Structure 1
């Protein structure tokens, strides 16, 4: 009993460190309009700055996603916190666009190092009987941290001095505390190997998994693309089209999407996978439709409903996708297949966002957003139609 309590304590502390790291990755979201005013760059540049983060995550997942299996979880997590601290310093020193690119690159490196290592750590630290709860802790602190970033930055930017500096100073202090906590936490990898034994992971999808992987990856792509648009361009839309200049409100709207995702993930744990994936697609489609209405009618209420509905659908679909792909994959290829799913998801958070930025110049933010919604809607409808015709088989 005492061992179980200690295991859960370690699990939750590891989750808290995970949340602190992920908070830093979305911290600049409500501050982009302020950076645009200060440095004078376009909406396309905002989306490119944002996408640099996603490409850095993808690079780490492909090149060093399995590093913690060899050298241990704690060293990789310390590297991740080091990158997070360096990212905060870049934003604190920012005197031009180059600093923002460097800060986002380092933030992506920290997230890429944490994504696999921290998830594995939280699950391994928990008592064996709590595996399913530990999985939820890992996914919840991931999305919760992503949601806390814009909320924290928005509140500090609106109600405290030094809006472009104080959020990163606070995060730097949280990272320092997390590093101290990590020194106390035990290592969960028993047999460690030198870093030289780590080899880049090659994404792959075995033929038997492809019927499940296709719709699961499509739903993941659309869900993360919706998050990408919310975190990169929604502050500009709120300010330009709805005259919402309160940074706290802007941060809260973005945070709601991530918090709603936690609710979707929790629901997915109680719904069979054959239902959670199509239901998640329906939630994503409803979120996209509400976002279209918000763009067309310039209505803040629809933006909020879109964040809640789309976020819930993303959580439902993504946890269902992870479960379906994991169950369908052969044990010796499971890690590679799941890594491939994450690569597709992070492509969703970057490529469509750049497309929106490119279209903003000739079409305006609303027009570019409607084109994005039409494309993502077509993808999610195709995935849902496939799942209705060929449901994911029940686990045996």
Structure 2
């Protein structure tokens, strides 16, 4: 199941180095690229909110098969897309499929793990999305760098992989018996239980900064590298995304002994410094600063979000977690989707350089607010490991 989720996120990360190729070949405006990333995040968010609990009622496997089938359809649309409009349609379908897979796979991975490895299963489920995005960007970037018909090759490989993944999932054992209430579960349930409301409020800015950083390196940096630095090579944007999300995965995997409040503080500070370095890169055209920003932004992203989830989850009862995560993802993906769309609207009247610098300024301010908020909550609560 975790392999299936990584596969879906590999597909989600693959457009990062490919969309600039479409831009050059088809001659559409840069804002269309940011729109493609924005609609993906919004579609993913809506799906999580509506069917996030559906697998509890119809089973994990049916929803996972539907998600893989939906992503297969998205890959086919990418493969035969005749215009940028169809690329956006594909991204919407991809967002729906990724959202459908998220809750079902996360639950199934934990349930399929032996009792002594439940914690490891939860950790794998948490790391798979970020790791998949990193691998997807690098995979597509390498093909785009060394294969002539890169877009066709990437989507053909992913069509075959999704088809095989769908067939394989037919034989994965079901881990959740069907139960009544499937229709009622489609009503979004967003809640922040009383015991964690203070902490949730304190983590809001850090969560927004995390997903602004994701939007920056997944959707905007390839455009910036081409427009500001003249780097049109697909591997450049792919490597920036790989470094960011790869370090995010590494930090998430290795920070088990670090208290959550410290992760949130250090993560927010790292993202703020990374955003400032990114602004400096735009101002001075120093490419090395982009890579430094990717390192700090990725590490901060992994630390901040890991600290947020590890801080919130122990404070709520099991039946309250779905509503809590719905609230977290509402903030997260709205930040990612809306910021990408706004960046696209701004880039027309101004320029890529100005838009990117402004995006960096906003990210730095929000990340600093996250650091201050996290430190303030720690002082007020005086509770260890929170």
Band of TM-score, shorter chain: over 0.9
Structure 1 position 394 matched with structure 2 position 381: no
Instruction: Choose which of 262, 271, 277 in structure 2 pairs with 1:284.
Output: 271
1:288 and 1:310 in contact (8 A); partners too: yes
Structure 1 position 43 matched with structure 2 position 30: yes
**Offset at residue 199 of structure 1 (A):** 2.8
CA distance in structure 1 between the partners assigned to 2:312 and 2:61 by the alignment: 28
2:209 and 2:370 in contact (8 A); partners too: no
1:67 and 1:198 in contact (8 A); partners too: yes
Q: Which runs of 4+ in 1 moved over 6 A?
A: none
* Gap change, CA 1:220 and 1:42, over 3 Å in 2: same
2:227 and 2:353 in contact (8 A); partners too: no
Across the two proteins, how many residue pairs are aligned to each other?
383
Q: State the match for 2:313 in structure 1.
A: 326
- Secondary structure, aligned partner of 2:149: coil
Q: State the match for 1:356 in structure 2.
A: 343
1:245-264 to 2 correspondences below 5 Å: 245-264=232-251
CA distance in structure 2 between the partners assigned to 1:255 and 1:210 by the alignment: 34
Stretches of structure 1 that go unaligned for 5 or more consecutive residues are: 1-13
Q: TM-score, normalised by structure 2?
A: 0.94
* Gap change, CA 1:382 and 1:196, over 3 Å in 2: closer
CA distance in structure 1 between the partners assigned to 2:219 and 2:303 by the alignment: 22
Instruction: Choose which of 30, 34, 45 in structure 1 pairs with 2:17.
Output: 30
Stretches of structure 2 that go unaligned for 5 or more consecutive residues are: none
CA distance in structure 2 between the partners assigned to 1:228 and 1:267 by the alignment: 24
CA distance in structure 2 between the partners assigned to 1:313 and 1:69 by the alignment: 33
CA distance in structure 2 between the partners assigned to 1:331 and 1:124 by the alignment: 14
Structure 1 position 303 matched with structure 2 position 293: no
* Gap change, CA 1:395 and 1:278, over 3 Å in 2: closer
* Gap change, CA 1:206 and 1:139, over 3 Å in 2: closer
1:43 and 1:233 in contact (8 A); partners too: no
Structure 1 position 190 matched with structure 2 position 177: yes
CA distance in structure 2 between the partners assigned to 1:83 and 1:389 by the alignment: 44
What does the per-residue CA deviation read over 1:307-327, in whole Å, with 9 as the maximum and x for residues that have no partner? Answer: 121111111110111111212
Q: TM-score, normalised by structure 1?
A: 0.92
- Secondary structure, aligned partner of 2:170: helix
- Secondary structure, aligned partner of 1:95: coil
Structure 1 position 156 matched with structure 2 position 143: yes
Q: State the match for 2:154 in structure 1.
A: 167
Q: State the match for 1:7 in structure 2.
A: none
Structure 1 position 65 matched with structure 2 position 52: yes
CA distance in structure 2 between the partners assigned to 1:17 and 1:385 by the alignment: 38
Q: State the match for 2:109 in structure 1.
A: 122
Q: State the match for 1:141 in structure 2.
A: 128
1:267 and 1:316 in contact (8 A); partners too: no
Q: State the match for 1:226 in structure 2.
A: 213
Q: RMSD of the TM alignment (CA)?
A: 1.7
**Offset at residue 94 of structure 1 (A):** 0.7
